[in-house]
């Protein structure tokens, strides 16, 4: 049971630089790019009675919410990558040095 506590502490140390409001913003943008467009297609297609948009939106929703498709496996790593590229001066390594590139 002690190894679980050790792993949890290691995870908290590695995840701390990403627990910021800026990461929440980046995650929201990435979510809109990966799955949010399907919600928009579904809502706009229904509201304005656009058949093709509704069908694509509902098809994507069915695909993304399939129990065998986990879209978070795409969204979370892409969010971390984009956060590092966008706010690279704020992401610190384990050595407490700032990334300068």
- Report pTM: 0.70
Give the span between the Cα atoms of 33 and 84, in whole angstroms: 17
Task: Indicate left, alpha or beta for 20 from its phi (over 0: left) and psi (-120 to 50: alpha).
Answer: beta
Residue 53 pLDDT exceeds 80: yes
What's the pLDDT band for 101 if we cut at 50, 70, 90?
very low
């Amino acid at each position: 049971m002690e190894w679980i506590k050790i792993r949890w502490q290691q995870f908290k140390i590695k995840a701390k630089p990403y627990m910021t409001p800026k990461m929440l913003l980046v995650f929201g943008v990435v979510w809109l790019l990966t799955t949010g467009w399907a919600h928009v297609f579904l809502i706009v297609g229904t509201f304005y009675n656009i058949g093709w948009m509704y069908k694509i939106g509902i098809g994507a929703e069915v695909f993304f919410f399939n129990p065998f498709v986990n879209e978070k496996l795409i969204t979370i790593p892409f969010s971390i990558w984009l956060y590092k590229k966008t706010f690279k001066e704020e992401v610190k390594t384990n050595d407490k040095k700032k990334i300068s590139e």
